[in-house]
Amino acid sequence: MATKFFRQFWTKEFRTYLCSTHFWGPVANWGLPLAALADLKKNPELISGKMTFALLCYSALFMRFAIRVEPRNLLLFACHATNETAQAVQGIRFIDFWHIKNEDQRDKIRARFLEPLSQIPAEGESQ
Phi, psi of 102 (to 5 degrees): -90, 175
- Give the separation between CA 63 and CA 77, rounded to whole angstroms: 5
Residues of the chain scoring pLDDT < 70: 1-2, 17, 22, 115-127
pLDDT, position 14: 72
| Residues contacting residue 88 through CB under 8 Å, at least 6 positions apart | 56
pLDDT, position 12: 78
> pTM for the complete prediction?
0.74
pLDDT, position 122: 56
pLDDT, position 55: 96
